[in-house]
Amino acid sequence: MKSKRIIFDAPFSVQLQDEQIALDPLPEHGVALQTRYTLISAGTDIACLSGMESWFKLPGTPGYTAVSQVVGVGSAVRNLTPGDRVYHFGSNRQYQVVSDSELLLKLPENIDERLVPFTRLATIAMTAIRVVPVELGDTVAVTGLGLVGNFAVQLAKLSGAKVIGIDPSPARRALAKQCGADVVLDPTNGSAVQEVLRRTDQQGVHALIEASGMSRVLADSLPMVARYGQAVLLGSPRAEFVTDITPLYRQSHDGRCVTIKGASEWRLPVKMDAHVKHSIERNSQIVLDLMAQDKLMVEPLLTHTFYPEQAAEAYHGVRMDKDQYMGVVFDWCTQAAPVGHEQGTEK
């Protein structure tokens, strides 16, 4: 049948193309999905659009988070039926066929479908909370308050920590404060480390979660980490940063014993397993439950809703104005502007 997909056909070139997809017959373990909403990941998608992401080949279809409706299942599929709504690692296409062995989580009844694609960004952030782990009474600093950083703030707060959010953007600082940060700081005047130390009686933070993906930010922020504290790399560094790392090593080693950890989501298994406690599947289910219970604030992060036909405009906005185009969703399922969101504009 005829379907549509967003495609990056060259660096910084976005198109919507028709494609043919076979929904009948399905493989015995195949699940046919009609996409409802997808989300732009400002970091990963724009890196792919630039042509500089090594694993993404142009031309290609971006996207890694979606909510879809099951429209068909293969003969061996037992846990899904047509009509089920599922969260999955879907790309920006109207229809797709996946295996039932992939991550396919049924949605809670009382959840806003538009917000479900944010689950992927929240589970990425949760990896940092698992890696530390954050404990009741800890003080945590989060540098970089985009979607992933904002969710790191919220999840650390839900874990019982006092949370300090740090970002040069006034809009992102205000949003982090709205979503639960105890304190927000502007690092541009060079006093963030001193202010963190002042607020912690010169002890520093138990955990630093670096969510900006900028290597310089980690280098500048390490002095705020307490003795025996931890610095967690959550953002993915892509830009070159040249510096003398010896002072950084000495700061982290001599007398302080700071541990630096990586928090890539792929350090965890995708599916739940009896032999491990944490997995992407379990984290995703927890996030969906938190959303359904209104314990995780997602609505304030949704800034724009676009039709797929407006993909070029959407990606241009995310590239050129990340503060305003922070949470951008593609609506694959309606023909009129959703209530409360004029297509292609802010709330």
DSSP letter string over 117-169? GGHHHHHHHHHHHHHTT--TT-EEEEE--SHHHHHHHHHHHHTT-EEEEE-S-
Answer yes or no: is 175 within a domain: yes
Q: DSSP per residue over 268-287, as a string?
A: S-SS--TT-S--HHHHHHHH
Token representation of residue 221: 């922020």
Q: Provide the CATH number for the domain around residue 176.
A: 3.40.50.720
pLDDT at residue 347, as a whole number: 47
Model-level pTM? 0.93
Say yes or no: 98 and 137 in one domain. Answer: no
Q: Which of 264, 288, 318 is the last residue of a domain?
A: 264
pLDDT at residue 190, as a whole number: 87
Say yes or no: 139 and 252 in one domain. Answer: yes
Answer yes or no: is 294 within a domain: no
Q: Provide the CATH number for the domain around residue 313.
A: 3.90.180.10
pLDDT at residue 336, as a whole number: 45
pLDDT at residue 50, as a whole number: 95
Q: What whole-number distance in Å separates Cα of residue 1 and Cα of residue 72?
A: 13
- The CA-to-CA distance between both ends of the chain, in Å, stands at 34
Q: What whole-number distance in Å separates Cα of residue 319 and Cα of residue 43?
A: 10
168-208 pLDDT per residue, tens: 999 999 999 999 999 999 999 889 999 999 999 999 999 99
Kindly state the DSSP code that residue 223 receives in the 8-state scheme: G
> What stretches in the chain show pLDDT beneath 50?
336-342, 347
Say yes or no: 177 and 247 in one domain. Answer: yes
pLDDT at residue 335, as a whole number: 64
248 in Cβ contact with 222 (< 8 Å): yes
Percent of the chain with pLDDT over 70: 96
Number of domains in the chain: 2
Say yes or no: 40 and 73 in one domain. Answer: yes
Enclosing domain of residue 39: 2-106+302-331
pLDDT at residue 338, as a whole number: 43
Nearest residue to 298 via CA among 142, 144, 178: 178
317-338 pLDDT per residue, tens: 999 999 999 999 999 998 644 4
pLDDT at residue 240, as a whole number: 86
pLDDT at residue 189, as a whole number: 86
Kindly state the DSSP code that residue 320 receives in the 8-state scheme: H
Say yes or no: 141 and 248 in one domain. Answer: yes
Nearest residue to 127 via CA among 299, 283, 347, 323: 283
